[in-house]
Amino acid sequence: MELECKCGSTCIRTAEEILSKAKESYNPCEQCPNINLNKFKPLNQQLNLKNVDQDFGRCACGKRHLDLTMAHILKIMIEENQKKEISTLRDACVPLINPAYPLQAIPYLGEKSLIVLSPKMNKKCAQRILDEVMEVKCVLQGEAKNTVGIKDSHFDPHTYKRLAGCDMRCDIFTTPLGPLCLYKDQGEIHIEFPRPQSPKINALSIFLNKHFPDKEPKPSKNNYKNPTFCTPESSSYSAVNRDLNSSFTVLDATCGPGTLGIYCLMWGASRVVFNDLWKPATNMATLNLEVNGFEVDFFDETLEKCMVASGDKFEVYNLDIRNLGNVLDEKFDLCIVDPFPGVDSQDFIRAAEKLAKQVLVIE
């Protein structure tokens, strides 16, 4: 499968490429200036906004402290009447860095490394931000607290409005088996910030080790015992070597961008079926399989409500979990159910119990 972004540009790279650059990408160089802005004090009482432009506070290395990038964005929003004169950095907009992984310090940003999300934003202002602030790759309009996607079949879907640029973003999750790179087109897929340890990956890991101990893979000690940010040299991108006779099948029934099912493939599952009712989620799960080293042999983006992609050890479906039993005539070892918070999961669990011997509900 070609790793080409919908925008036609080079937004999508393989996990190796992302990780080889990710470690240093947000660190300042020795000359990068140290910045100290108060996020709760109006910006115009701390800086002369006339001076805040593309070069303001930018180091010769090309990077700029996140706060200064946000100051530049806020200045444009004030000029375009999207924010009050007395606004603070705190109420500017939500910054989503790309790629994202847990950081120990505020990042210094380079070109096209930021997506911004704001409830109040018009197209003119968004286009100015994209054109004038080189760190920005996309401007979205929407409320961060609103779930993006579809909560269940009887809910209306919700998306953020993409006003300028491309919203393709990558989150890097640290797992006991190495890093996992998850792309999301952020206008259509819910925001989930990578934390030093992902509670849902940990829950899945514990479940797999407890319920299927005989199937546990043997990754290098280095990866398994050290769930911190791994470099490509210390990580595994594709399936861990398993005993080829053992079979372990998983249904990731509400897969979203594919996090948990891909983790099962890394763990060494012999077959994983991904499924999601939300078509953009199945597109992302397919892309993320390829990005993380699980080659996609078939993918038809135009298909809906059926199998949309497949590879050696996986298939991807776009169905309501309730209808999966009509097309999947098999009993999986495990079905993962990960609904959005606040969704009544009883139906999901009932459907999962018919399809698998064990059900893991992420709560």
Q: Which residues bind to ligand SAM, rule: CB under 6 A?
A: 149-153, 200, 254-257, 259-260, 275-278, 281, 320-321, 338-340
Q: Which is nearer to Zn ion, 29 or 86 (CB)?
A: 29
Phi-psi label, residue 247: left if phi above 0, alpha if psi -120 to 50, beta otherwise:
beta
35 touching Zn ion, by CB under 5 A: no
343 touching Zn ion, by CB under 5 A: no
Q: Which of 25, 23, 24, 26 is nearest to 108 (CA)?
A: 26
CB 76 within 8 A of CB 87: no
Q: Which residues contact 37 (CB under 8 A, 6 or more apart)?
A: 43, 46, 47, 67, 68, 71, 89
Q: Which is nearer to Zn ion, 29 or 105 (CB)?
A: 29
> What stretches of 133-285 adopt beta strand conformation (E)?
136-141, 161-165, 168-175, 178-185, 249-252, 271-275
Q: Which is nearer to Zn ion, 3 or 361 (CB)?
A: 3
Q: Which of 114, 119, 229 is nearest to 180 (CA)?
A: 229
Q: How far is the CB of 292 from ligand SAM (least distance, A)?
A: 13
CB 312 within 8 A of CB 326: no
Q: Which is nearer to Zn ion, 11 or 273 (CB)?
A: 11
Site residues for Zn ion, 53-82, by CB under 5 A, read 59, 61
Choose the contact partner of 259 out of Zn ion, ligand SAM, none; CB within 5 to 8 A by kind. ligand SAM
Q: Which is nearer to ligand SAM, 50 or 145 (CB)?
A: 145
Q: Which is nearer to ligand SAM, 177 or 255 (CB)?
A: 255
Choose the contact partner of 340 out of ligand SAM, Zn ion, none; CB within 5 to 8 A by kind. ligand SAM
Choose the contact partner of 339 out of ligand SAM, Zn ion, none; CB within 5 to 8 A by kind. ligand SAM
Q: How far is the CB of 134 from ligand SAM (least distance, A)?
A: 31
166 touching Zn ion, by CB under 5 A: yes
The pair of structure tokens assigned to 175 is 């797992």
Choose the contact partner of 150 out of ligand SAM, Zn ion, none; CB within 5 to 8 A by kind. ligand SAM
Which residue is closest to ligand SAM by CB? 256
Distance CA 28, CA 180 (A): 25
Residues in the chain: 363
Burial class (CB in 10 A: 0-12, 13-18, 19+), 22: buried
Residues that bind Zn ion (CB under 5 A): 5, 7, 9, 11, 29, 31-32, 59, 61, 166, 168
